[in-house]
Amino acid sequence: MPSSSLILSVGTILSALSSTAVATQYSQSESYTAKNWLDAFKFETYDLNNGFVNYVTEDVAKSSGLYKTVGNDVMFGVDGTETLDYKKMPGRKSIRLEGKKNYNHGLFILDVKTMPGVCGMWPAFWSLGQEPWPVKGEIDIIEGVNDNKANKMVLHTDTNCKVSGLGQTGTQAGTDCALNGPNGASGCDVNEGRTNSFGPGFNTNNGGHYVMEWDSDAIKVWFFPRGTAPSALNAGSNNLDTSTFGTPAANFKGDCNIDERFKDQRFIFTNNFCGDWAGNAYAASGCPMQKDSAGNALNAVDSCKKYVAENPLVFANQFWKISSFKTY
């Protein structure tokens, strides 16, 4: 017969597991729209991904029309006027927005109508802990390169984090999130199969809602194409229950201490060009390869830079158009 102390311990564990399982109800904490967007985000000009990019200041962004509000929506994008020299930096003007506040746990909802998605670009909505990367973790909610049709969701940690890939609709590509693991800087990634989850297909459908839930048990991401979100979410309710959201696209859960690996996350929007991912994947994405002035074929990275530098009109309408970002 088990001892009373063992029974108590088991009971305590079961109680804790039960409370984790039902902790799905949230109340709204913050709502950011065109009226107060810059209360939540600030402009940054640095780049850590070797991009062909020139992240501009708030003053330049506003004066050049790269950042503006239209009705109830906020819009921020990239320059589509200047012809550049692909051999010289800085690259094309763009915007990097970083959150002013750090978060630990919560429910986060982004209502997006339009996002960038053409050859040469690397748009992303993500969160990051304290540098040096990725000591406090990185959560990629929306990310892709070139004219990819589907979203990729990824976790990055410094060490000791593996996920199972169970309980999700997306396809688990890598299960080890650690920088010192076999996937290295690629992290543990989930591919969203729906072609309206990123880029052109996303925009044609007038976007949708991306939702990230973060607690001690797991980090989950849902994507709801426009018109398919749960009624309470669609109505902008102040109270939401994620148990009504259905199976998430990504369910990052497994042999990973979430609270140890992910802390003090700030949310970030980037519109990068080429760089470590979009540049290296440029040819594989089916984007137009380029030649130098002597007619010699350029490699993928230089082809990406040349295409971005010499085709400004391609990027004239590449922007994020966002209705709201809400925290719960």
Contact 163/253 with Cβ under 8 angstroms?
A: yes
- Please report which helix (H) or strand (E) contains residue 308, including its range: helix 300-310
Which amino acid belongs to residue 298?
Answer: L
* Active-site option among 44, 143, 213, 310: 143
* Active-site option among 30, 82, 98, 138: 138
* DSSP per position, 21-74: HH--EEE--EEE-TTTHHHHEEEE---SS--SEEEPPHHHHHHTTSEEEETTEE
3-state secondary structure of 276: helix
Tell me, yes or no, if 138 is annotated catalytic: yes
Rounded Cα gap, residues 164 and 88, in angstroms: 44
Tell me, yes or no, if 260 is annotated catalytic: no
Which are the catalytic amino acids?
138, 143
